[in-house]
Structure 1
């Protein structure tokens, strides 16, 4: 595809060129002469069909995971997050060493490859919260935990301009990618001032099904607020809030 650079951006089709608008700007691309029926039946396109099948599974798996963490993601401002997560989910599927190409899936892949995924590229957890933390997933008990020793917020939290308070939160999910269902939960600290007062120990625990045989995901995030006349206000539609997958137990 090509990016339009003219004074007047075009939309529509002229000859074999289609002009359209995206979040990245006004683009143009040449229409393909290959129709959908040929791609679906022609042996020459078997690799295309295999790639399409696996990409479709990645898209569905990405949607289920996003839905499981929806309560947290409502306060995250990254319009490209869904496409980034789908791209990483493709890598999970491609790590499946059991099934043939085109039949590979998330269950037989490596869900652990998603560890460290940042849901907000505009504000990454690794750049927002510098306090050390310890994670633990107990599959037998069905608990997902994050323990954070005391820290001084003004030193260990990279707050955006205007923020006076922050909140640390954790979320956990047990996901069945085959039937597209999940069990989830979340917990959070109080809204704490960004000052030189050390925090108390934070022990954030989320419960899911005990003895689960499904992949388990643990996310940690930080949200920022501005305190004005007794009321806490979130900052700029979640642009500065961070959330990342910090631990995963696949099967």
Structure 2
């Protein structure tokens, strides 16, 4: 590794040379590494090819899930969420014991690994709503019911300082991870409740999906906070305070 010894303090890449700064000064290194052709053909890199294939499977499945749940994800804001979800999906793929390495798939039986995944790491559901949310799934009828017990907002919601109102938001997605598969999403949300209410009555959200489809169903639940200004409600900080979590997986 070469070290720069001149008044020119370069950063970035010029041709095959990369210039960068470390605690030991400005340094430069030449582009190297194993070629893509060798990785694709050399028997020594068979394990690498297998790992890459499984990672691609997980990446595509994570993108499919994000696309299926996009209307719910838009209630939150977490730039690191795609990477976190991708890592969780890698665990799902690696849990496949039916296929050999490099050919592993997203099996419904392993989707339970996604349970309690929070789409907003800075505002998790467990640290925002201090009540037990119940989920009942009837796959034969295609009905998902989510029940939130009566709560006292003052003590059972960890609310942003500027928030004046909140609502519960839920969705149920029937997932098809096959190559040409299409997932189905059902959405429901409550009216906006004032955070100054002493008590909010028990709430039930019901979602309808295709009946007896034989596909896994993921249930997502969250809380959205708003600020009322001159009679109109506005979301706070692009959803940065809103939790959204996978609360149930039914296979």
Q: How high is the TM-score relative to the length of structure 2?
A: 0.88
Aligned to 1:199: 200
Structure 2 CA distance for partners of 1:234 and 1:247, relative to 1, 3 Å = same
Structure 1 range deviating more: 52-61 or 205-214:
205-214
Cα distance in 2 for partners of 1:86, 1:249 equals 20
Q: Describe how 1:153-164 pairs up with structure 2 within 5 A.
A: 153-164=153-164
Q: Which residue of 2 aligns with 1:43?
A: 43
* Alpha-carbon distance in 2 for matches of 1:73, 1:155: 26
Measured in 2, the distance between the counterparts of 1:29 and 1:44 equals 26
8 Å contact kept, 1:136–1:146: yes
SS in 2 for 1:181: coil
Matched, 1:233 2:234: yes
Post-superposition CA distance 1:184-220 (Å, at most 9, x none): 1110111101124211221111111111211110000
- Give 1:158 deviation, angstroms: 0.5
Give 1:12 shift.
2.5
Hey, what does 1:92 align to over in structure 2? 92
What SS does structure 2 have at the residue aligned with 1:112? helix
1:76 alignment partner in structure 2: 76
Where does the alignment leave 5 or more consecutive residues of structure 2 unmatched?
1-8, 21-27
How big is each residue's C-alpha offset from its partner over 1:46-71, in whole Å with a ceiling of 9 and x where there is no partner? 11111111111111111111111111
Aligned equivalents of 2:136 and 2:11: distance in 1? 53
145 and 9 in structure 1: CA distance in 2 versus 1, 3 angstrom threshold: farther
Residues 101 and 108 of structure 1, relative CA distance in 2, 3 Å threshold:
farther
Structure 1: stretches of 5+ with no match in the other structure: 1-7, 20-27
Instruction: Indicate yes or no: 2:119 matched with 1:119.
Output: yes
Show structure 1 runs of 4+ deviating over 2 A.
8-19, 28-33
Alignment-derived partner of residue 215 in structure 2: 214
Output the CA distance in 1 between the equivalents of 2:171 and 2:234. 22
2:227 counterpart SS class: strand
Aligned length: 236
Map of 1:102 onto structure 2: 102
Contact 1:78 1:120 in 2 (8 A): yes
Distance in 2, Cα, partners of 1:112 & 1:247: 8
Equivalents in 2 of 1:203, 1:107: separation in Å? 30
Alpha-carbon separation, structure 2, partners of 1:29 and 1:191: 57
Q: State whether residues 163 and 227 of structure 2, in contact with CA within 8 Å, keep that contact through their aligned partners in structure 1.
A: yes
